[in-house]
Structure 1
Amino acid sequence: MSIPKPLLPTAGVPLLEHQLARAAAAGVRHVVFATAYRAEMFAESFGSGGRFGLEITYVTEDVPLGTGGAIRNASSALRSGPDDPVFILNGDIISGHDMAAQLAAHEKADAAVTLHLTTVEDPRRYGSVLTDAHGRVEAFIEKSPTPVTDQVNAGCYIFRRGVIDEIPAGRPVSVEYELFPKFLAESAPVLGHVDPAYWLDVGTPAAFVQCCCDLTLGRVQSPALPVQGVPALVAEGSVVAPDARVEGGSTIGAGVLVASAAVIDASVVMDGAVIAEDARVTRSVVGRGVKIGPGVVVEDAIVGDEAVIEAGNELRGGIRIWPRSVISGTSVRFSSDM
């Protein structure tokens, strides 16, 4: 699937649209997109931002500048004064945290930077952030087998505008490996705002599927969705047979056909796909225009756009099928640890 991750349809709208809607609800009015890969697709998707009550400006990197370099590059489009707060959000995060409360904490502490921190069950997968009793950041600890805290960087920052202007321009800069350690070395006031609300890093196919299901089921609220807390979202123009089952927070794109006795559970089925009779799709992504044959089992799998999976096949265990592939044969089982 050849679209940038932030534009993947997530519970029926682009992933990034959930962040735009939340930012607008928190009082943000001007958004600057720092784009690189297939930058034109972002403008095609979101335009001027008027439908969100926002004004969107697009700034493109000619060469990759890293997390900090991208912020510095995009700052040319900011209109805020040197002491004004600027929200910076990663494009592949879904969060239910209170942005207004984070801003209030930032202003009360007169912080240079305020990070949204969340707590996770297994912090070994992330860089941990150690704070003192007043919430001031003491250390950034990269992935460790023995983390000293379960607090991790959740990908939503507030920078004082003047701090952004101090980031070196025209070269790659890392927020995590260069900027934050520099701030601590200089004793700059860096605050960690802990909010344990729903948070998910949509960095893997399994996390993407979970994100779509959680949004549909209402486990995390999004102003971008008119309906939540339902077993499934089915787009207009799709046809689901009366005896088919679509459940578990599944999302069905436009023009999809789900035939008799088929089951779609906790999965994402994109526009124009055909799910034949007695097929079963579980915890999987089915791309645009895919044809899933009768009786096929797709479980924990990714099926690329316009692929054809003929009758009798089983795709399980993380298998990924390339776009426009044809999987034929009878009772062929594909599995992978990917």
Structure 2
Amino acid sequence: MQALILAGGQGSRLKPITDYIPKPLIPINNVPIIEWQIRYLKKFKIENVVICSGYKSEQIQNYLEHKRNFGIKIQHSVEDVPLGTGGALKKAAKIIKDKTFLVLNGDVITTIDITKLYKTPNAIALVELRTRFGTVDFDGMRINNFREKKRVQNIWMNAGIYHLEKNILKDLPRKGAIEDTVFLDYAKKGILSGVSFKDALWFSIDSHKDLEECSHALAFKSIKK
């Protein structure tokens, strides 16, 4: 199965780092995000990865060309102007050969077992919602306990990992987000599925704090690089 990594964003919330390098090359524990992702996909027997890039794409290509030891085929689809997640997939259509394919947002670090998606086409991986802020336990006006970020049980969020049928490509916008277009339409038609993952490590790297928390979590989690 092929997997496409959506790595075209500018990562504006991670400035000034992204003034100099693209978000996928930001290191977490000395390993760039894009390398974490490729090795994660390889762990699940993915042998063909397409990098959909745009901002500073030449740096991504140069890095991956230099790192020749992944043992999988890597191709590139480069957008000249930002196309959004839907447009980036549509542009890469000619490279997609299989009847179904995986998509991974370019800022996701996770241990989700993607093989659980393979039997369900047009499916989104779901993780339990995590609060952005600490929460408190209180009784009346008395605070009993402080809690840091935690999962909100049975409220699910998009994990940024998809298993899609190739015929979805014809429905994608040439420019725009798949989440705001095709997914909404497919959900209304009842042809979009969700596969939930309860205890997997999952981070979407969108801020400096995300980088810090992900780095800390990976340091204490056994993940093959």
TM range (shorter): 0.7 to 0.9
Letter of the aligned partner of 1:214 in structure 2?
A: A
| TM-score normalised by the chain length of structure 1 | 0.52
Q: Of the candidates 30, 33, 37, which is equivalent to residue 12 of structure 1? A: 30
Which structure 2 residues correspond to residues 93-132 of structure 1 after superposition, within 5 A? 93-104=108-119, 106=120, 111=121, 113-122=122-131
**Which of 41, 59, 62 does residue 23 from structure 1 map onto?**
41
Specify the alignment match of 1:222 in structure 2. Answer: 223
Q: Distance in 2 between matches of 1:174 and 1:65?
A: 8
1:163 to 159, 165, 168: 168
Letter of the structure 2 residue corresponding to residue 115 of structure 1: I
Identify the residue that residue 196 of structure 2 maps to in structure 1: 194
In the superposition, relative to structure 1, how do residues 54 and 65 fare at CA in structure 2: closer, same or farther (>3 Å)? same
Please show how residues 114-153 of structure 1 align to structure 2 within 5 Å: 114-122=123-131, 150-153=155-158
Distance 2:209 2:92 in 1: 31
Give unmatched runs, 5+ long, in structure 2. 1-16, 134-151
Task: Kindly report the root-mean-square deviation, in angstroms, between the aligned alpha carbons of the 2 structures.
Answer: 2.2
CA drift at 1:3: 0.8
CA separation of 1:68/1:184 partners in 2, compared to 1, >3 Å: closer, same or farther? same
Shift of 1:175: 1.2
Q: CA deviation at 1:120?
A: 2.1
- The residue number in structure 1 matching 2:179 is 176
Structure whose CA Rg is larger: 1
- Aligned counterpart, 1:3: 21
Alignment map for 1:269-308 (pairs within 5 Å)? none
Superposition deviation, residue 149 in structure 1? 5.7
- Superposition pairs for residues 243-262 of structure 1, below 5 Å? none
Q: Which of 81, 88, 96 is residue 103 of structure 2 equivalent to?
A: 88
Identify, as 1 or 2, the structure richer in helix.
2
SS at match of 1:150: strand
Q: How does 1:55-74 map to 2 (within 5 A)?
A: 55-74=73-92
Partner of 1:249: none
Deviation at 1:212, TM superposition (A): 1.4
Separation in 1, partners of 2:154, 2:181: 21
SS of 1:89's equivalent in the other structure is strand
- Unpaired segments of 5 or more residues in structure 1? 125-146, 225-338
> 1:150: how far off?
1.4
> Which amino acid is the alignment partner of residue 77 of structure 2?
V
Q: Deviations over 1:215-234 (max 9, x none)?
A: 1222xx4321xxxxxxxxxx
Deviation of 1:121 after TM superposition, in Å, equals 3.7
Identity of counterpart residues, as a percentage?
Answer: 26
Is 1:18–1:222's contact at 8 Å kept on the other side of the alignment? no
Once the two structures are TM-superposed, the CA of residue 177 in structure 1 deviates from its matched residue by 1.2
Quote the Cα distance in structure 1 between the aligned partners of 2:177 and 2:220.
36
1:72–1:167 contact (8 Å) kept in structure 2: yes
Q: What amino acid does structure 1 have at the position aligned with 2:78?
A: T
**Structure 1 position 89, deviation (Å):** 0.3
> How far apart in 2 are the matches of 1:123 and 1:164?
34
- Match of residue 259 from structure 1: none
Cα separation, 2, equivalents of 1:114 and 1:48: 34
Residue in 2 aligned with 1:326? none
Q: Deviations over 1:281-326 (max 9, x none)?
A: xxxxxxxxxxxxxxxxxxxxxxxxxxxxxxxxxxxxxxxxxxxxxx
Q: Give the equivalent residue in structure 2 for 1:205.
A: 208
The residue identity in structure 1 corresponding to 2:103 is I
Cα offsets for 1:13-35 (capped at 9, x unmatched): 11111111111111111111110
